């Protein structure tokens, strides 16, 4: 099981160039978590 803080990650529900959206759960409530990717300025060139 993977966790981000107190939230259990259930699955990835979307992905793009700048990050991804994860379906997570805490205390029986489902939420979407957006995880953004960070890149150095040189990686963007």
Residue ranges of the annotated binding site for ATP are: 45
Q: Measured in whole angstroms, how far is the alpha carbon of residue 4 from the centre of its chain? A: 9
Summarize the annotated binding site as residue ranges. 45
Tokens representing 44? 């963007």
* Dihedrals phi, psi of 29, to nearest 5 degrees: -105, 130
């Amino acid at each position: 099981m993977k966790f981000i803080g107190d939230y259990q990650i259930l699955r990835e529900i979307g992905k793009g160039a700048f990050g991804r959206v994860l379906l997570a759960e805490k205390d029986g409530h489902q939420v979407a978590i957006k995880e953004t990717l960070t890149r150095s300025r040189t990686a963007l060139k």
